[in-house]
Amino acid sequence: MKKISLLLGILFIFICANAQFSVRLVVSSVATRAQDDIYVSGNFNGWNPKDEKYKLKVFGNGRKSVVINDLKAGIYAFKFTRGGFEKVETTNDGRDISDRILEVNADVSLDLTIAGWKDDYPDKPKRYSASPQVKIIDTAFRIPQLNRNRRVWVYLPKNYTQSSKTYPVIYMCDGQNLFNEQTAAFGEWGVDECLDSLQIQMGKEAIIIGIDHGGNKRMTEYNPFDNAQFGKGEGVAYTDFLVNNLKPYIDSKYRTKKGPDYTLIGGSSMGANISLYALLTHPNVFGGALLFSPAFEVCPELFQTAQNFNTSNMPKFYFYAGGKESNNMVPDMEKMVGILQVKNRVQIRKTINPLGQHKEASWRKEFSEAYRWIMKEE
C-alpha cells in the first residue's frame, strides 16, 4: 500500500511539473490610440514587441484580448506594446512601469487596463553619462559578413595614455546599453563608472569594447541557428566578424594582450548566447565569457555545441540568472553548467539571484562581481 501511495505521489508531482495552462489577457480600457493594434510581449515569446501570434483581438464592448496557450507553471513577466518598445505601455503621466508579473499554476483570465503609451509623452532629454574614458571608435564600423555597419565603443583605463602597459580586452554585446544613459533605452549598465573605481581597488585593468546590437536584426545576429519565430540565424557570420575583423583592428589600434587568456566576451540574454557560442567555437581566441541571463530557450542547439566543446586551454565561464525571469531561465542555465562542468580544464562560476529580473538594472548590479571573478587570475 505504501508503494502504491508513493507511486501515486510521484505521478502527481510529475503531472503537476509537466502541466500546461492557458492565460487569457483582456484589455478593457486603453487611455489613447485604442484603435491601434496591441501586442503582448514577455519572457514567453523572447520579448518580441510585435509578435503576430500575440496580437490582441477585438471582441465585445471595444475590449481586446489574447489567449496564450501551453504555458508551464511558473512566473512570467510581460508588457503591452503597439508594435515596438518605443510604443510600450506607461503610467498615465508617461513614466516607465515595471514588468507585469503573472504567476501561473492554473488557467488564468485577467482583466487589465492600459494607462498610457510611451510615444504619447516626448522623452525628456537624457543626460550624457559616459565617463571621459569612453570614446566612439566608429559610428559605422563595417561588418562585411552581413553587409552592415555598426557603432563601436571603447573604454580605456584611466592611466592608459600615461602608461605603456598592455591590457586584456572584454568584447561586450549591446554596446549602446553599457556606458551612456542617452543611448540606453532601458537604463545603462554603468560599466565605465564601475571600472573607474573597481580597477583601482583590484589593480586589474581592462579595455572594454562595446558593439551596438543590430536593432531588428538583434535576434538573428545573436543566434547562430535558424529559428522558426525569428528567422535565419546570422550568429556564425557575426562571430566571424568579431574574430576576423573587429579583434584584429582593436589589436592593431590599442595596446592589447592578444592571447585567449586575455580576450574575453560577454553579454546578456541573446548577447549571452552569442558570447557563449563565440567561446565554444573559438577557444583559441576567447578565453572567458560573462554570461548574464542566457536565453537558451531561443537557441537550444547551444546545448549540443557545449557537448561537443573541447579545448586544451582553461576557459572561464561566469553564469548569472535571476529567479524572476522566464520559467526556463534557471533550469536551462543549470543544464548548461552541468554539461560544461564535466569537461576537463574549465572554470565556472554560477550565480542565481532569486529576485533578479530580465532587465539592465539586474545585470548592472551583477557586473561588478562578474568582473572581479573573471579578472581574479589575470
pLDDT, one tens digit per residue, over 123-148 is: 667 788 899 999 999 999 999 999 99
1 pLDDT higher than 90: no
Cα–Cα distance for residue pair 198/338, rounded to 1 Å: 31
Which pLDDT belongs to residue 352? Answer: 97
Q: Are residues 110 and 180 in the same domain?
A: no
Tell me which H or E stretch contains 253.
helix 247-253
Q: What is the pLDDT of residue 330?
A: 95
End residue of a domain, out of 98, 120, 142 = 120
Q: Is residue 116 part of a domain?
A: yes
Among candidate residues 34, 39, 28, the one with its CA nearest the CA of residue 88: 39
Residues 102 and 150 in one domain: no
Q: Indicate whether 65 and 109 sit together in one domain.
A: yes
Under the banding of pLDDT at 50, 70 and 90, the label for residue 64 is very high
274: enclosing H helix or E strand: helix 270-281
Q: Domain check: are 147 and 239 in the same one?
A: yes
Q: Would you say residue 336 has pLDDT above 70?
A: yes
Tell me the pLDDT tens digit for each residue of 359-370.
999 999 999 999
Amino acid at position 114, single letter: I
Question: 344-350 long-range CB contacts below 8 Å, 24 or more apart?
Answer: 345/311, 345/312, 345/313, 345/314, 345/315, 346/314, 346/315, 346/316, 346/317, 347/314, 347/315, 347/316, 347/317, 348/316, 348/317, 348/319, 349/316, 349/317, 349/318, 349/319, 349/373, 349/374, 350/319, 350/320
Residue 12 in domain = no
pLDDT of residue 193: 93
**Which tens digits make up the pLDDT trace of 195-231?**
998 888 888 999 999 999 999 999 999 999 999 989 9
Domain final residue pick, 95, 120, 145: 120
Number of domains observed in the structure of the chain: 2
148 in the same domain as 106? no
Residue 14 lies in a domain: no
- Based on the fold, state whether residues 182 and 97 are members of the same structural domain: no
pLDDT of 18: 63
* Residue 17: predicted pLDDT: 52
- Taking CA atoms, 269 is separated from 203, 294, 344, in Å, by 29, 4, 26
Non-local CB neighbours of 133 within 8 Å, separated by 6+ positions:
155, 156, 157, 158, 160, 192, 196
Q: Is residue 3 part of a domain?
A: no
* One domain, residues 209 and 349: yes
Q: Distance between CA 36 and CA 34 in Å, rounded?
A: 6
pLDDT at 123: 67
Of 261, 239, 371, 376, give the one whose Cα is nearest residue 311.
261
Q: Same structural domain for residues 294 and 352?
A: yes
CA 286 – CA 273 distance, rounded (Å): 14
Identify the domain boundary among 97, 120, 143: 120
Q: Are residues 211 and 356 in the same domain?
A: yes
Through-space distance between the first and last CA atoms of the chain, rounded to whole angstroms? 61
Question: Domain of 28?
Answer: 20-120
* Rounded distance between C-alpha atoms, residue 356 and residue 283, angstroms: 30
For the record, the C-alpha cell of 154 comes out as 571603447
Instruction: Kindly tell me if the per-residue pLDDT of 47 is higher than 90.
Output: no
Q: Are residues 91 and 140 in the same domain?
A: no
Residue 265 included in any domain:
yes
Residue 290 in any domain: the answer is: yes
% pLDDT > 70, the chain: 94
Per-residue model confidence as pLDDT tens digits over 69-103:
999 998 888 999 999 988 999 998 888 888 898 88
Q: Are residues 75 and 142 in the same domain?
A: no
> What is d(CA 351, CA 348) in angstroms, rounded to the nearest whole number?
10
Residue 378 pLDDT > 60, yes or no? Answer: no
- Output the pTM of the full model: 0.75
Task: For the chain, give the mean pLDDT.
Answer: 91
Host H or E run for residue 79? strand 74-81
CA angle at 199 for the pair 195 and 203, rounded to the nearest 5° = 170
Does 377 have pLDDT greater than 80?
A: no
- The CATH number that applies at residue 312 is 3.40.50.1820
Instruction: Label the pairing between strands 74-81 and 39-42.
Output: antiparallel
- For the residues 17-38, what does the mean pLDDT come to? 89
Q: Does residue 102 sit in the same domain as residue 144? A: no
Instruction: Say if residue 251's pLDDT is above 60.
Output: yes
